[in-house]
């Protein structure tokens, strides 16, 4: 139970300090499942997580922070999205990358479910995904380019993977 885990983690610190410590740790995380689990744990912080999550809007975890703030009612959706330059796809990339680590076929099935099998939706997402500031975005794009049956989607994924590799950071 995440609430119990939250209570036991850093028990001598207040909620705001615990939330800030967790957000700081999330910035150092290099695995998609760990990032997703960290944000799930941050849910237990409630409103104490607002300030540290807002600070994340200026980092590579801006997408995660945006959805966290919106989903938890900690900031108005329009206010959050106005701070981003593209749709917040980082958590989706993490879900797909985590699945890819386990089973490539399941990742493709997850992708098909996320896009409802609609190739236009898939291409639109892919055209934004290369901008996600997570190295796993490249892994996901390459897997989509190799394994999606819809040729237009696979081609878009290959093009986006090229853009990811050649972008200047």
pLDDT digits (tens, 9 = 90+) for 34-71: 999 999 999 999 999 999 999 999 999 999 999 999 99
How many residues make up the chain in this entry? 169
Question: Band of the pLDDT at 168, cuts 50, 70, 90?
Answer: low
What do you get for the CA distance between the two ends of the chain, in Å? 39
- CA-CA distance, 36 to 43, in Å (whole number)? 11
Looking from the CA of 160 toward its CB, the CA atoms found within 13 Å total 27
Tens digit of each residue's pLDDT (9 = 90 or more) over 132-165: 999 999 999 999 999 999 999 999 999 999 999 9
* CB atoms near residue 113 (< 10 Å): 9
- CA-CA distance, 125 to 88, in Å (whole number)? 10
Look at residue 167 and tell me whether its pLDDT is greater than 90: no
Looking from the CA of 84 toward its CB, the CA atoms found within 13 Å total 25
Which residue's structure tokens are 């800030």? 20
pTM, two decimals, is 0.92
Question: Band of the pLDDT at 84, cuts 50, 70, 90?
Answer: very high
Look at residue 92 and tell me whether its pLDDT is greater than 80: yes
Percent residues over pLDDT 70 in the chain: 99
Average pLDDT of the chain, as a whole number: 95
User: Are the C-beta atoms of 145 and 115 separated by less than 8 Å?
Assistant: no
């Amino acid at each position: 139970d995440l609430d119990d885990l939250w209570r036991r983690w850093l028990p001598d610190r207040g909620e705001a300090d615990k939330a800030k410590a967790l957000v700081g740790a999330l910035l150092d995380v290099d695995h998609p499942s760990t990032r997703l689990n960290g944000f799930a744990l941050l849910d237990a912080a409630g409103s104490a997580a607002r300030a540290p999550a807002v600070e994340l809007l200026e980092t590579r975890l801006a997408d995660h922070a945006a959805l966290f703030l919106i989903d938890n009612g900690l900031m108005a959706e329009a206010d959050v999205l106005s701070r981003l330059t593209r749709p917040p796809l980082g958590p989706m990339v993490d879900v797909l990358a985590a699945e890819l680590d386990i089973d490539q076929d399941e990742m493709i099935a997850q992708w098909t479910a996320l896009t409802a099998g609609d190739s236009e939706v898939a291409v639109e997402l892919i055209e934004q995904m290369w901008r996600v500031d997570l190295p796993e975005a490249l892994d996901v794009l390459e897997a989509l380019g190799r394994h999606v049956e819809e040729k237009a989607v696979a081609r878009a994924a290959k093009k986006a993977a090229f853009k990811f590799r050649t972008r200047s950071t």
